């Protein structure tokens, strides 16, 4: 009996002493990482010490690791001592994993041009807009003609966008954020609703449906690593203020995240104020080892004024003035939107899984403009599902991906006269329906240890209905339909690993982009059913090198686009659309990143430099309108050269500096190439201090945009009537802010 009791106490003592000791290091440099947030299941979170060490009592625990600038890691450990290597998110292309084309692989294994935008990229600039963070990537350009009025250009794809985002497919937390008519209200999102982004450049219809410009996947959800309450405040020139309150709370093995953001500004120009409030609530709930559920609720209330474009004389006289008539007519947009989504993942086995997401949304849109007053009330729904199976073929690994997507939207649309900013009598009213759907399949087969073959295919259908209920001009009423013939979009690609740190790839992909309802149903009431869909074929080759602290990416492509849609403005100032034959779009994208010092032990901890070059040599091939022959001209709205250079410096005491210089070549503003936006140099600078004090994270920062006080536009009106091309961007302006985080 005494021996049994002694043995029992011995076993208990062993259990009490059992612990898991971890040493966390940088995978590239091997240096220990301090202040890593480490969370073990059912235990309070801890931070690593100056030697990168942390310990938890227990024999077997699932532990997560989080540190700014490094990929999130979650892994199960047994008792004992272990070394854990965290992967820097900004270096080593071979370690950075992306999910583009529904295939989670290291970037070196991807056979496509993909740019990643991280939280660290967003934090290099004034965090009121995604513009600067995206524009530092080769081949990507977001324009902001007025505050909160975005156009997204991937390889020159904004040509047909007088306003809004078109010809680019956008997803948010795996939900199709682009409406089925092809437009995307990106300005409904605050920057805090985007943690990371992946930009696929070029046609991506084999997986993402319509769009020649590419696809953007945005994520706000993150794996939780502890409970956190956070608050931010930012203020700046032109009456800028932004406040954010956030909460992350673990619940069992899942949790919820909530945030509220309010942003206001008066704007640099007359009649360019912005007022936006966004609430987001997300949940992550593992049901079992095989199932998990994710939910998202987004409520956005956006109001912004539209100052309008100026001609050259008005620009020279006073760039801050609004276009005559904009103030009296209260040219502006008011939009309230709600989006709810439910996602479900099921693992049939270690080799097969399914992810399905369904969503519903509502949209209340009001747009008084100089010429009219538009009101729309819309409802939409949709779903996306994908199956992934890991298998073998001929003794080589084979990954099969298949799925489907469907979207439908119903809108009550009314256009009125505008009498001093108030809706007057109705001019025309329609009930609108837009729908699109597609099936997609993809096979990825390792033909050899270093050679990956990809074959993708999608079958697409889409259409719209315009039921004209009222037409005050006396034109016929009734139903107009346009159904686009089913389109098959292929993609073939090869990726060859030259070594552990480098690879080359080549691909041929197709894309198509039908006109949106806004392009067919214009503001003066006409319905252009003859507008054809754009169709393109893209040929592309690329080289990547990601070795330790040095990354290189070089990409060349040729996009042959038929039935290119361009804009023009009639004598009344109404933007209309037409097909412009074909265009040749040849381009080069090059990026170089070098960590002169990474996680050093001295005063300077990180010293990073990088540059990104975009060369876009786009021309009209066969473009004749009446007596005008624009064949051979440069593509409107596309700068032939763009160069971005970056310098990031972080010190051991927490002081950091981010410096960015962007050179943009002159931009043709009309199809005739007779008017240009002059070349400009844009310099942005941000300096701050970030430090952790126990459970409290603190960051204070100041910054300046347009340090050189350049006169430029972040987005011009193309082919504008009356010479109204120019949308002047703000002069030199300052901002500053404070961030606080309480980890509990």
Task: Tell me which CATH homologous superfamily contains domain 214-743.
Answer: TonB-dependent receptor, beta-barrel domain (2.40.170.20)
Q: How far apart are CA 353 and CA 385, in angstroms?
A: 11
Q: Residue 214 — very low, low, confident or very high, per pLDDT cuts 50/70/90?
A: confident
Q: What angle do CA 603, 604, 606 make, to 5 degrees?
A: 150
Place of tokens 């330790």: 548
Q: How many helices (H) and strands (E) does the chain have?
A: 6, 46
3-state helix, strand, coil in the chain (%, to 5): 10, 60, 30
Residue 238: pLDDT above 60? yes
Here the tokens at position 427 are 């001019």
Residue 535 has pLDDT above 90, yes or no: no
More confident residue, 377 or 529: 377
Phi–psi pair at 490, nearest 5 degrees: -100, 165
Give every CB contact of residue 6 below 8 A, 6+ residues apart in sequence: none
pLDDT at 95: 57
The helix/strand/coil state of 182 is coil
pLDDT number for residue 569:
67
* Least reliable range by pLDDT among 421-435, 613-627, 695-709: 613-627
625-634: pLDDT as tens digits: 767 888 889 9
Predicted confidence band at 289 (pLDDT cuts at 50, 70, 90)?
confident
Tell me how far apart the alpha carbons of residues 192 and 741 are, in angstroms, rounded to a whole number: 14
Question: In angstroms, rounded to a whole number, what is the distance separating the alpha carbons of residues 182 and 179?
Answer: 6
CATH topology for the 18-86 domain: Immunoglobulin-like (2.60.40)
CB 665 within 8 A of CB 655: no
- pLDDT of 15 > 50? The answer is no
CA angle 465-463-383, nearest 5°? 110
* Selected residue with higher pLDDT from 501 and 240: 240
Position 159 scores a pLDDT of: 58
**What pLDDT score was predicted for residue 9?**
45
What 3-state class would DSSP assign to 329?
Answer: coil
| CA 374 to each of CA 234, 245, 464: distance values in angstroms, whole numbers, following the listed order | 34, 34, 19
Phi-psi region of 37 (alpha: psi -120 to 50; beta: other; left: phi over 0): beta
List, in order, residues 6 or more apart from 316 with CB less than 8 Å away: none
Pairing of strands 214-219, 169-172: parallel
What residue spans in the chain does CATH classification 2.60.40.1120 cover? 18-86
Name beta bridge partners: 71.
none
Give me the phi and psi of 312, to 5 degrees please.
-60, -40
Q: What are phi and psi of 207, to 5 degrees?
A: -125, -30
Q: What 8-state DSSP symbol labels residue 109?
A: G
Query: CB of 673 within 8 A of CB of 654?
Result: no
- % of the chain surpassing 70 pLDDT: 92
Residues β-bridged to residue 600 = none
Instruction: Judge whether residue 31 has pLDDT over 80.
Output: no
Average the pLDDT over 529-540 and give the result: 83
Which of 220-234, 408-422, 537-551, 695-709 is predicted with the least confidence, judged by mean pLDDT?
220-234
The stretch 711-727 carries a mean pLDDT of 89
Asked if 443 and 457 count as a contact pair (C-beta separation under 8 A), the reply is no
pLDDT digits (tens, 9 = 90+) for 503-521: 999 999 987 777 777 777 8
Q: Which pLDDT tens digit goes with each residue over 680-691?
A: 999 999 999 999
- Report whether 70 contacts 8 (CB < 8 A): no
Instruction: List, for residues 178-190, the tens digit of each pLDDT value.
Output: 988 888 889 999 9
Residue 555 tokens, joined:
């990409």
Q: Kindly report which listed range (346-355, 510-519, 590-599) carries the lowest average pLDDT score.
A: 510-519
pTM: 0.88
- Pick the more confident residue, 45 or 442: 442
Among 98-112, 529-543, 558-572, the minimum mean pLDDT is found in: 558-572
Lowest mean pLDDT among 241-255, 461-475, 504-518, 706-720: 504-518
Q: What is the pLDDT of residue 92?
A: 56
CB 201 within 8 A of CB 154: yes
Q: Which pLDDT score, from 0 to 100, does residue 151 have?
A: 86
Helix, strand or coil, per DSSP, at residue 740: strand
The pLDDT value given to residue 26: 79
611: tokens are 């540059």
What pLDDT score does 11 carry? 42
Q: Residue 299: which of 339, 334, 335, 329 has the closest Cα? A: 339
The confidence score (pLDDT) of residue 568 equals 67
Q: Supply the pLDDT for residue 8.
A: 45
Task: Specify the pLDDT at position 86.
Answer: 85
pLDDT for 161 beyond 80: no
Between vectors from CA 540 to CA 534 and to CA 541, what angle results, nearest 5°?
A: 175
Mean pLDDT of the chain: 88
Structure token digits, residue 500: 């552990």
Burial profile 22-54: b = 16 or more Cβ within 10 angstroms, e = fewer:
bbbbbbbbeebbbebbbbbeeeebbebeeebeb
Tell me the average pLDDT across 571-600: 81
Lowest-pLDDT choice from 56-70, 247-261, 289-303, 559-573: 559-573
Q: Where are the alpha helices (DSSP H) in 18-103?
A: none
Question: Could you give the CA distance from residue 48 to residue 510 in angstroms, rounded to a whole number?
Answer: 49
**pLDDT reported for residue 486:** 84
Strands 80-86 and 19-26, sheet pairing: parallel
pLDDT band of residue 692 (cuts 50, 70, 90) is confident
Distance CA(643)–CA(661), nearest Å, equals 8
In this prediction, residue 91 carries a pLDDT of: 53
Cβ 370 vs Cβ 308: under 8 Å: yes
Cα of 128 vs its chain's centroid, Å = 14
- The C-alpha atoms of residue 556 and residue 697 are separated, in whole angstroms, by 43
210-220: average pLDDT: 84
Residues of the chain within CATH 2.40.170.20 domain(s) are 214-743
Give the tokens for residue 163. 């306003």
pLDDT digits (tens, 9 = 90+) for 430-466: 999 999 999 999 999 999 889 999 999 999 988 889 9
Give the separation between CA 383 and CA 375, rounded to whole angstroms.
Answer: 27
Per-residue model confidence (pLDDT) at position 10: 40
Structure confidence at residue 75 (pLDDT): 83
pLDDT at 566 over 80: no
pLDDT greater than 60 at residue 2: no
Q: What is the mean pLDDT of residues 478-485?
A: 87
| pLDDT the model gives residue 13 | 47
**CA torsion, ordered 252, 254, 255, 261, to nearest 10 deg:** 170
């Amino acid at each position: 009996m005494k021996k049994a009791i002694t043995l029992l106490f011995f076993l208990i003592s062993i259990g009490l002493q059992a612990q898991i000791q971890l040493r966390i290091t940088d995978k590239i440099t091997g240096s220990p990482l301090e202040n890593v947030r480490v969370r073990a299941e059912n235990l309070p979170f801890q931070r690593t010490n100056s030697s990168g060490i942390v310990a938890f009592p227990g024999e077997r625990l699932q532990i997560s690791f989080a540190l700014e600038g490094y990929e999130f890691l979650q892994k199960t450990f047994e008792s004992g001592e272990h070394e854990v290597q965290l992967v820097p998110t900004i270096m080593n292309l071979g370690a950075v994993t992306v999910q583009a084309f529904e295939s989670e692989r290291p970037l070196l294994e991807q056979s496509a041009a993909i740019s990643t935008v991280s939280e660290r990229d967003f934090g290099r600039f004034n965090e009121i807009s995604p513009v600067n963070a995206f524009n530092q990537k080769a081949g990507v350009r977001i324009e902001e003609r007025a505050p909160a009025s975005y156009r997204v250009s991937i390889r020159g794809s904004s040509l047909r966008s007088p306003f809004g985002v078109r010809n680019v497919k956008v997803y948010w937390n795996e939900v199709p954020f682009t409406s089925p008519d092809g437009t995307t209200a990106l300005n409904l999102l605050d920057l805090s609703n985007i943690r990371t982004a992946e930009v696929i450049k070029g046609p991506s219809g084999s997986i993402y449906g319509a769009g020649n410009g590419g696809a953007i996947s945005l994520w706000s959800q993150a794996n939780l690593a502890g409970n956190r309450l956070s608050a931010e405040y930012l203020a700046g020139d032109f009456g800028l203020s932004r406040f954010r309150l956030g909460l992350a709370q673990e619940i069992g093995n899942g949790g919820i995240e909530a945030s509220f953001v309010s942003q206001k500004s008066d704007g640099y120009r007359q009649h360019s104020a912005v007022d936006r409030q966004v609430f987001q609530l997300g949940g992550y709930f593992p049901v079992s080892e095989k199932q998990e559920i994710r939910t998202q609720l987004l409520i956005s209330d956006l109001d912004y004024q539209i100052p309008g474009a100026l001609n050259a004389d008005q620009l020279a006289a006073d760039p801050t003035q609004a276009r005559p008539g904009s103030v009296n007519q209260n040219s502006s947009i008011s939009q309230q939107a709600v989006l709810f989504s439910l996602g479900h993942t099921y693992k049939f086995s270690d080799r097969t899984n399914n992810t399905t997401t369904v969503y519903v949304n509502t949209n209340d849109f009001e747009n008084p403009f100089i010429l009219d007053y538009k009101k729309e009330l819309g409802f939409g729904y949709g779903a996306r599902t994908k199956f992934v199976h890991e298998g073998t073929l001929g003794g080589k690994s084979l990954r099969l991906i298949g799925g489907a997507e469907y979207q439908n939207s119903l809108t009550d649309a009314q256009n009125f006269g505008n009498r001093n900013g108030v809706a007057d009598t109705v001019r025309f009213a329609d009930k609108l329906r837009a729908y699109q759907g597609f099936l997609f399949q993809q096979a990825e087969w390792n033909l050899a240890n270093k050679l990956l073959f990809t074959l993708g295919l999608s079958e697409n259908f889409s259409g719209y209905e315009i039921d004209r209920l009222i037409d005050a001009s006396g034109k016929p009423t009734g139903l107009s339909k346009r159904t686009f013939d089913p389109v098959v979009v292929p993609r073939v690609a090869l990726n060859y690993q030259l070594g552990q740190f480098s690879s080359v790839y080549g691909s041929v992909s197709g894309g198509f982009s039908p006109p949106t309802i806004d392009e067919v149903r214009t503001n003066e009431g006409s319905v252009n059913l003859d507008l054809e869909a754009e169709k393109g074929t893209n040929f592309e080759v690329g080289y990547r090198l990601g070795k330790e602290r040095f990354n290189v990416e070089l990409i060349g492509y040729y996009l042959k686009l038929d039935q290119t849609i361009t804009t023009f403005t009639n004598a009344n100032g109404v933007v209309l659309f037409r097909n412009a034959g074909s265009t040749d779009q040849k381009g080069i994208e090059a990026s170089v990143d070098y960590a002169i010092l990474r996680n050093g032990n001295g005063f300077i901890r990180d010293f990073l430099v990088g540059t990104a070059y975009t060369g876009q040599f786009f021309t009209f091939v066969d473009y004749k309108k009446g007596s005008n022959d624009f064949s051979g001209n440069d593509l409107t709205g596309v700068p032939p050269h763009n160069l971005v250079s970056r310098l990031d410096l972080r010190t051991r005491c927490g002081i950091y500096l981010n410096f960015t210089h962007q050179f943009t070549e002159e931009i043709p503003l009309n199809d005739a190439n007779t008017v240009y936006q002059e070349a400009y140099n844009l310099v942005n600078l941000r300096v701050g201090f970030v430090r952790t004090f126990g459970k409290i994270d603190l960051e204070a920062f100041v910054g300046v945009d347009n340090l050189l006080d350049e006169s430029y536009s972040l987005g011009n009106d193309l082919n504008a009537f009356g010479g109204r091309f120019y949308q002047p961007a703000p002069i030199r302006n300052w901002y500053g802010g404070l961030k606080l985080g309480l980890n509990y």
